[in-house]
Structure 1
Amino acid sequence: MTTPQELLLPATRRALLHRIAVAQSEGRAPSLVAAVVRGGETVWHGARTSVDGHGPDENVQYRIGSITKTFTAVLVLRLRDEGVLDLGDPLEKHLPGTGAGEVTVSELLAHTGGLAAESPAPWWERTPGSLRPELADVLGEQPFRHSVGRRHHYSNPGFTLLGALVEELRGAPWEEVLRREVLEPLGLHRTSGRPEMPHAGGWAVHPWADVMMPEPAEDLGRMAPAGQLWSTTGDLARFAVFLARGDDRVLSADSVREMRTPAAPPETADLAAGSGYGLGIQIAHRDGRTLVGHSGSLPGFLAGLAIGVDDDVAAVVLTNCTSGPAAFTVAADLVRIVAEAEPRIPDAWRPVAEADSALLELVGQWYWGTQGFGLRWRADGRLSLEPLTGVGRGARFRPNADGSWTGLDGYYAGEVLRAVRRPDGSVSHLDLGSFVFTRQPYGDGSSVPGGVDPEGWRGIQ
């Protein structure tokens, strides 16, 4: 019987072990644990040094800091999908009296609400949450640092507001809602708001001497939705599969794809690194591939979750030191090692179960003016529009009940594609957000706004 560890080649496993060994040694981490997911299951687990005298395994808890934000975002998207709120709603509509009510739900999720990065003093990560019992204590007298919606500015108080929004609309504490709606359905039984044995202790490592000091593990109180959770590589590996594929018990594949879609421009300092932000999810471009996930840190702990959706590879890295290995970078490297050493084998092509004559009538070559596009019907029931020259506005479309199609990405995301038919039922042209696509470039007799010159095409006059 093949074990998960044997699902990767020996050379790949050694390269993974080498990467985390270098990270733990050079980063001077008391312990480091990592996991790699491929094809929806954990295929590798590695650890360096020990926790309580034993090598940490996939069930040892570490604090995951801001990866908590992604869990909170999932709860908010569930409310949206149920029709309880709209992402464009101002916070004031559902949670009045905060002093930051003009900010929309989507702006909070994407950190574009202009709110401060941190709560007022004292340092919230190292002091009890009981010092900030009310939202006013989290936001302070001047909660804004920038104009609303103008720039991406990472905000911990912003996710505190989202946690409070969940509590208001669900009528239950944030952690209770999280457990009932996300953790239990996904089988994340070792993820919790407070540490449960076995768990690692958090340490501060002296920058100039090889000595350590324990860090306090505070209950963050109101700030919990921004960074409270403890978890394991085993649970986060399952969470990574969910973020890549969706799970209709929690969020659909379309909704998690929406979370992974850029919703905010990168901050200036992040431009060179090629990073951005979706809805509760960080987006990074490394080594020619796009990674999504989140990093996390709290005193005593660093965490990184990186998912290469196109490569079908994800990695989790957890460690128990205040500063040291760049956990997300290490996780990204683990994804790269597997993706390059053992490239994803594509799924076998199979025809659709049943041909649809109405769809077959739509596929093939179309022209937007003089630019050629190919419209393809795919086995997943969607259409894809692709420029024939490789340059242009491509998109995928999902079907609607009325026979139209809605764009899922790119320039045409959210735009509606319709087949316009002649009186005899044949297709005249495609209407995509008012743009007309015809079978021939400005085809004679086609319904082209502005008309077609009656003399048609010509050479040099």
Structure 2
Amino acid sequence: MRKLVRSLGIAFGLAGSAAAQDVPPASPQEIATQLVALRNVPGAAAGWVTAEAMEVGVAGTRVVDGEDAVQVGDAWHVGSITKGMTATLAARMVEAGAITWDTRIGAVLGDAFPEMHADWHGTPLRALLSHQSGMAANLPGASAADLGEGPRHDYVAEMLYSPPETAVGEFVYSNAGYVVAGAMLEAVGGAPWEELMQEHVFGPLGMESAGFGPPQGEAIEGHATRLLRGVRSAGQGPEADNIPAMGPAGRVHLSAGDMLRYLRAHLVRDESFLSPATWEVLHSAAGDRGYTDNIEGYAMGWGVDEDGSLVHAGSNTFWYAVAYIDPSAGVAVFAATNSGDLRAVAEPVDGALRAVLVGH
């Protein structure tokens, strides 16, 4: 599993306390301070959560060379960690009877997309959420540039009017697949994905800071690597994030505390939020669900290790974040930076999670 997720660039196999034995324990505040000591990291956050307690630490500045210090309640963009949130929304809607894991794309979107390629009609929601639908990773670059601020409908049309890239059951990490899954949820939910997320996930879990796109106003900004040296602010405009159509795949921002509240629900499998059976579907590797035995190590929006730990990373190239859940140890951890320089931050953030895991 570790080789799989590392090769995809979506997660790090921390393997619980066993992998962290040689890492000195540290508090979230110590970890955040260590991260901003790196050359290309203006600001950082780290934290842990258990069933009973939570601790968050932040350090650095909102903007490189700026004077505004990062605040505990500031929002962090979490990129592809959004995928697990979209899968969680799907789970809520399955339990509400609005859709099933096996609902086919054609049954929900056939009328809205009359030119849908025939091969998509029978593809189930669960295949999209586990990256086994056969859909390409992304909208072609030229099409994405043309779409810009355009509606999600146009993005979905581009994907569904084209044939699958691979056979159903073959793992291809697909942002586009999550956009189509989001469109299915919009169709049965009668509202935009963003509204459905607020109503069915963020609201019930008390995630008041959660929103979409780059944080606005007096907020942390993401940063990109300069051509020669250092980082530059990406600002708060449309160019500072993925296009809006990609929301279900990677456009959520939220505070570290709210991220930990979300992780706590998954850690304890909160039965007031989802049934035990539904939590099991969300957290089980695709092969374990009987849909296919062609892949190990990915559930619905989570990399999953043999010990049941869950992990996912996210970056829109201006931020970097990783979330990790260790059910056996009863703890979940989170770390984030407002730098998308993965060469500078990926390994230190990996190490930060290990240190927080040991020191919680």
How far does the alpha carbon of each residue in 1:112-156 deviate from its partner, in whole angstroms, 9 at most, with x for none? 11110011223749972317652445417535221111x211111
Match of 1:297 among 307, 311, 315: 315
Correspondence 1:178-327 to 2 at 5 A:
178-194=197-213, 195-206=215-226, 208-214=228-234, 216-218=239-241, 220-263=243-286, 276-284=297-305, 290-324=308-342
| Residue in structure 2 matching 1:91, options 97, 101, 105 | 105
1:37 alignment partner in structure 2: 49
Identify the structure with bigger relative contact order (alpha carbons < 8 Å, sequence gap 6+).
2
Residues 27 and 67 of structure 1: is their aligned pair in 2 closer, same or farther, counting only changes over 3 Å?
Answer: farther
Tell which structure's C-alpha radius of gyration is larger.
1
For 1:75 and 1:94, locate their aligned partners in 2 and report how far apart those are by CA, in whole Å: 17
User: In structure 2, which of residues 174, 180, 184 is the aligned counterpart of residue 155 of structure 1?
Assistant: 174
**Backbone CA RMSD of aligned residues:** 3.1
Deviation at 1:22, TM superposition (A): 4.5
Task: Mark the CA change 1:19 to 1:264 in structure 2 (over 3 Å): closer, same or farther.
Answer: farther
Question: What is the deviation of 1:44?
Answer: 3.9
**Retained in 1: the 8 A contact 2:182–2:248?**
yes
- Decide which moves more: 121-130 or 207-216: 121-130
Q: SS of the residue aligned with 2:334?
A: strand
Asked whether the equivalents of residues 44 and 59 of structure 2 are also in contact (C-alpha less than 8 Å), the reply is yes
CA contact (8 A) 1:24 1:31 kept: yes
Partner of 1:65: 79
Question: Deviation digits for residues 397-428 of structure 1, max 9, x if unmatched?
Answer: xxxxxxxxxxxxxxxxxxxxxxxxxxxxxxxx
- Kept in 2: contact 1:29–1:324 (CA 8 A): no
Q: Distance in 2 between matches of 1:23 and 1:223?
A: 29
The aligned amino acid for 1:182 is V
Distance 1:315 1:330, change over 3 A: farther
Deviation per CA, 1:233-291: give whole Å up to 9, x if none.
011010000111233453234422321111159xxxxxxxx982101222247xxx653
Unpaired stretches in structure 2, ≥5 consecutive residues: 1-23, 289-294
Inter-partner Cα distance in structure 1 for 2:276 and 2:217:
33
Counterpart of 1:139 in structure 2: which amino acid? M
Shift of 1:225: 1.0
| Deviation sequence 1:133-186 (CA, Å, 0-9, x none) | 52445417535221111x211111111111111111011111111111111111
Tell me if the contact between 1:306 and 1:331 (Cα under 8 Å) persists in the aligned partners: no
Q: How far off is 1:228 after superposition?
A: 1.6
Letter in 2 for 1:175: E
Aligned partners of 1:138 and 1:157 also within 8 Å: no
Q: Give the distance between the partners of 2:261 and 2:325, measured in 1 at CA.
A: 12
Q: Which AA in structure 2 matches 1:317?
A: A
Tell me whether 1:103 sits opposite 2:123 in the alignment: yes
Question: Aligned equivalents of 1:237 and 1:22: distance in 2?
Answer: 20
Cα deviation code 1:177-216 (max 9, x no counterpart): 1111111111101001243444211221226413525362
Secondary structure of the corresponding residue to residue 298 of structure 1: coil
- Check conservation: 1:315, 1:331, Cα contact below 8 A: no
Residue aligned with 1:79, SS: helix
Offset at 1:103? Answer: 1.6
**2:18 aligned residue:** none
C-alpha distance in structure 2 between counterparts of 1:192 and 1:333, whole Å: 28
- 2:142 is paired with a residue whose SS is coil
1:43 shift after superposition: 2.4
1:39 is displaced (CA, Å) by 3.4
Contact 1:246 1:256 in 2 (8 A): yes
- 1:172 equivalenced with 2:195 (yes/no): no
Using the size of structure 1 for normalisation, the TM-score is 0.62
Structure 2 Cα separation of the partners of residues 127 and 34 of structure 1: 35
Higher normalized strand content (fraction of residues): 1
User: Unaligned stretches of 5+ in structure 1?
Assistant: 1-10, 266-273, 343-461
% identical equivalent positions: 24
d(CA) in 2 for partners of 1:260 and 1:165?
21
